[in-house]
Amino acid sequence: MAVSGFEGFEKRLELHFTGEDPMGLRRLEFIALEQVLNAVNCSIVSAVGNCFFDAYVLSESSLFVYPMKIIIKTCGTTQLLKSIPCLLGHAFELGLSVCGCRYTRGSFIFPEAQPFPHTSFKEEVLYLEECLPTNLCYRKACILPSKVCHSWHVYTASDHYMLDQVPNKFTIEVCMTQLDVALARRFFRRCGDHNPGDVAGKEMTAATGISNINPCALVCDFAFDPCGYSMNGLDGAHYSTIHITPEDGFSYASYECVGSMDNYDEIGTMVQKVAHIFRPGTMSISMCTPQLDDVDVCSQIANSLKPVGLICRSCRIEEFPATGSLMFQTFTPQSETVNSGQKLQNSSHMPWRKML
């Protein structure tokens, strides 16, 4: 591992709102979005939208704006949680009230480089507790550990309204490190390549097989100089996103998507395609669903990754109020020997509580 380098692991924030205006957050002016992102220390590099939501590729990852939901995902040394006060202020001006929050991240490669409030998970939780209104009274913070991979940090908060909602969707977050060196080189710009980032991005999307993960998606992609890649995919009301830091020593790639529970059986095929593109040395998969068939989905994903040489080393399940079940699996190559068990385990660190 390099002594220092770019932090690939993202911080992810998802906020839900209620309100009367069906357009909701999509009425936010561009200048308002810039104010939010300025607080985070990142900017917009490209954008696309459809009738369901707007998607933005950022200088550090992605932003998705739905009428009643916003998702910001940022890497590097961004201060993601500092977006919350600004976001809540703009939402209030639109007549919207926050009703739910979910914050997730892996273990940073370079934790000592992170600024406040991301210096530790404890500091992040304290900051979230201070920023969020008291109506979000069902709160839980939890670290799902792994002996062979990074840990997974999760914080959720919700009000009574969110507690009654049961969305028919799942969210998958895939984190990969130690990418195959030859495959990672495909995300470096060619010497003398003076094409704009969007043009170079489309070339990488086609050449690497990323376009085959979901051929139905409208893709907005961008290649950074001298290396690095981001994309957002839009498929109806569902999004997908990929971010890649290809430098050897701290290489990292992530894949995230939202899908319908009606397409539950396609999850294994999807993660297999992702693993095949990057051939990572470590891989984690976090899946959040309203109802989780623990054994079925764990087995489905584990079996789908065996053909690409990845073996499930751990699988942990945690329940979150108004969020549902969260499954966290870790994988390493079959050739590696580990002492940790592979049995399904329940992690129960900080029981959820109702805030008085």
Whether 10 is a known active-site residue: answer yes
Instruction: Say which of 7, 60, 124, 173 is annotated catalytic.
Output: 7
Instruction: Say which of 62, 158, 230, 286 is annotated catalytic.
Output: 230
DSSP strands (E only) in 148-276? 152-158, 169-177, 218-223, 229-235, 238-245, 252-260
308: helix, strand or coil: helix
Instruction: Say which of 16, 42, 61, 90 is annotated catalytic.
Output: 61
221 in Cβ contact with 201 (< 8 Å): yes
DSSP strands (E only) in the chain? 11-18, 44-49, 54-58, 61-65, 69-74, 97-106, 138-144, 152-158, 169-177, 218-223, 229-235, 238-245, 252-260, 282-289, 310-320, 324-333, 344-346, 353-354
236 Rama class: left (phi>0) / alpha (psi -120 to 50) / beta: left
Instruction: Say which of 10, 14, 60, 256 is annotated catalytic.
Output: 10
Whether 315 is a known active-site residue: answer no
Q: Cβ neighbours of residue 215 under 8 Å, at least 6 residues apart?
A: none
Instruction: Say which of 14, 16, 62, 75 is annotated catalytic.
Output: 75
Whether 299 is a known active-site residue: answer no
Instruction: Say which of 16, 90, 243, 314 is annotated catalytic.
Output: 243
Whether 319 is a known active-site residue: answer no
What is d(CA 175, CA 251) in angstroms, rounded to the nearest whole number? 11
205: helix, strand or coil: helix
What is d(CA 250, CA 28) in angstroms, rounded to the nearest whole number? 36
Whether 107 is a known active-site residue: answer no
Q: Cβ neighbours of residue 82 under 8 Å, at least 6 residues apart?
A: 39, 40, 117
With b for 16 or more beta-carbon neighbours within 10 A and e for fewer, the 120-136 pattern comes to ebeebbebbeebbeeeb
Whether 7 is a known active-site residue: answer yes
User: What are the residue numbers of the active site?
Assistant: 7, 10, 61, 75, 230, 243
